[in-house]
Amino acid sequence: MSDDDFETELVDAFESEFDAGAETAATAAENAAAFREDFDEDLSAEDVLDRVESHSGDFEHRFDYAVGDLADANDDCTDSREYRIAGYDAMAADPNQGF
C-alpha cells in the first residue's frame, strides 16, 4: 500500500468512523504516515484504526493514545509527540509536571 493509499484510507475512516473533521483527519493521517515511514514500514491502516478504536474519548485523544501505543511497541521510537495531533505542548517541558 502506498503512502497515498494509506493516508486516504485513514482520512476516510477517521471521518466516517470517528467523526473527525476533515482537517483533523488529514493531519492525523499525515502523522500516521510519517510514523510509518520513520519507524514501521509494515504498519497498516487497519493497525492504526484498531489502536484508535481501542481508546475512548474524542478523536484527537484517541489518536494521540494510539500513536503512543504504536511508539511503545517500537523500540526505536522514544518520543511520539511529533506524530500526535497535540504535538509538543508546554506541559511536556515542565519539570514539575506530575508532581
* pLDDT per residue as tens digits for the range 26-54: 999 999 999 999 999 999 999 999 999 99
Q: What is the pLDDT of residue 26?
A: 97
Query: What would the mean pLDDT of 45-68 be, rounded to a whole number?
Result: 96
**Which residues are within 8 A (CB) of 85 and not within 5 positions of it... i.e. 6 or more apart?**
24, 27, 28, 31, 60, 63, 64
Give yes or no for residue 78 having a pLDDT over 80.
yes
Q: How confident is the model at residue 99 (pLDDT cuts 50, 70, 90)?
A: very low
3-class secondary structure per residue, 66-94: HHHHHHHCCCCCCCCHHHCCCCCCHHHHC
Q: Percentage of the chain surpassing pLDDT 90?
A: 75
Joined grid coordinates for residue 96: 514539575
What residues does each domain of the chain span?
Answer: 3-88
User: What H or E segment, with its residue span, contains residue 39?
Assistant: helix 22-39
Joined grid coordinates for residue 83: 506524530
The gap between the terminal CA atoms of the chain, to the nearest Å, is 44
More confident residue, 20 or 99: 20
Q: What is the pLDDT of residue 4?
A: 76
Query: What would the mean pLDDT of 20-26 be, rounded to a whole number?
Result: 97
User: What H or E segment, with its residue span, contains residue 48?
Assistant: helix 45-53
